[in-house]
Amino acid sequence: MDEFDIIVIGGGSAGSAAAGRLSEGGKFSVCLIEAGGNNNRIRVKTPGFMPFIPNSSNYRYDTVPQKGLNGRIGYQPRGKGLGGSSAINAMVYIRGTAYDYDQWAALGCDGWSYDDVLPYFKKSEGNERGADAFHGGKGPLSVMDQRWPQPGSLAFIDAATELQMPRNNDFNGAAQEGFGLYQVTQKAGERWSASRAYVEPAVAAGRLATITGALTEKIIVEDGRATGVVIRQSFGRRRTIKARAAVILSAGAFGSPQILQLSGIGPAEHLRAMGINVVQDKPAVGADLQDHIDYVSSFETGSTDFFGDSMAGNWAMVKAIIEHRFKRTGVMTTCFAESGGFWKTDPSLPAPDVQYHFVPAMLEDHGRSKVKGHGYSCHACVLRPYSRGSVRLSSSDATNAPSIDPGFLTDDRDIETLKAGVRLMHRIFAAPALAAYGGKDRFDTPLDDDAALETLIRNRADTVYHPVGTCRMGPNADDVVDTRLKYRGLDGLYVADASIMPRLVSGNTNAPSMMIGERAADFVRADLVH
């Protein structure tokens, strides 16, 4: 059948949640369209295989040259296939702070305060610690504590507390500030993606149709209404899928503005330059790109309390793989970013503005460059950046990647925050618990030379994979969607993913994206029933 009540474009974190929830109850026929495959692979489902995830599960985008990064081209991995980026990420379960969502409400996004979104986080979450004022215990997204963190990851937490930084056992509870182990989106030691949480149960129950390997070329607009999509499948075969009631665009902060622009919806001058007929002039489509700029310090040590190349192929690693395959336990459950924390560069701030991800291995160039030996590294990222960028078409061909310009470090306030974050990170490295490992700074970080530190950061910083904002939600006519995620200017079209965030949240974006998908399902259901 090529006609459904509801079409969801994109099987990532938000799209999986929206499609899965809308399929419940049998009131609507729902079709989920995904450009990638089903991601039902050992290398995807085994957490410790994260560095070896297949290229077919990752779009592996590049940015345009970044002025704020001394002209370098940044790397932008994005998940491809069911589960989207939740199938390739580090599985860290973080929501952001109450301040983030209250700020959305203060910007005019009524109904998106922390008190409004918390019930949806709880509805989504199946935390093994059980339900309480901040957590859900029975939701489809499995969240669990790490069982087998590396000793070096625990040493990072101890080092932070030696500097009188608070220890935090729940970054999603009453307070975010402090240091500790991250909870992870895993179930019984396996990656628990949005697809495993929402899509696979719905497909198994026969209530959700999925079309994978289907590139969405454009949304069909007839008489001011979104009525379907044109997809391209194997061998270039085009196919039209009709939507009787609604189209929900959930292709992410890069894919959603790209598809809208390919459909003639976006900045009119840019669309004409690409040879695309303008359906609606909407300059905000693809604007306001925000992302967490991130710097990674790396230390080398002889200690095998950290991952290293000497482990590859040896008997210990073989045993670890066998243990995980049979018991789903042991070192192969690692999320790599095992511990971390949140810190305020200025005590007067309403919420932490720097996040740390500690990795018990030397990390270079997003893991694409292999480093010999054992060691550890740590990310420091700016949680609420001022820099803004954009997503535009690179051509009118949907198979070509969009033109991505995050505008990293184009606002000097971001570099100041990042410098402060890096300096604290190195103070933690120098505290006794980590200093005992005798780590050698691979980049001789010039902490006492402000100009040299800035140069080093601009030469090495890049994303920590949290793009948002390119189809922003807001109360005004020029915003892309309203506060119920309906596209402003066309009927029957919704956008539900991280692209709708008016401001980037203070943390990882996977859980908030699923919350957005959950809310979209309720909004669409209510609109269609009434």
DSSP class per residue in 129-159: T---SS--BSSSEEEB--SS--HHHHHHHHH
DSSP class per residue in 295-327: EEEEEEES-TTS-BGGGTTSHHHHHHHHHHHHH
Q: Can you tell me the distance from the alpha carbon of 404 to that of 385, in angstroms, rounded to the nearest whole number? A: 17
% helix, strand, coil for the chain, step of 5: 35, 25, 40
Catalytic residue, chosen from 374, 379, 466, 530, is: 466
Whether the Cβ atoms of residue 277 and residue 344 lie closer than 8 Å to each other: no
The structure tokens 């179930």 sit at 187
Torsional sign, CA 121, 124, 128, 131: positive
3-state SS assignment for residue 358: strand
Where residue 405 falls (left for φ over 0; alpha for ψ -120 to 50; beta otherwise) is: beta
Whether residue 466 lies in the annotated active site: yes
Bridge partner list, 125: 141
Whether the Cβ atoms of residue 182 and residue 169 lie closer than 8 Å to each other: no
Whether the Cβ atoms of residue 337 and residue 50 lie closer than 8 Å to each other: no
Contacts with 211 (C-beta within 8 Å, 6 or more apart), sequence order? 31, 32, 33, 34, 231, 233, 241
Within 10 A of 129 (CB to CB), how many other CB atoms are there? Answer: 13
Q: Is 162 exposed, middle or buried (0-12, 13-18, 19+ CB in 10 A)?
A: middle
Whether the Cβ atoms of residue 300 and residue 362 lie closer than 8 Å to each other: yes
Bridge partner list, 294: 381, 462
Catalytic amino acids? 466
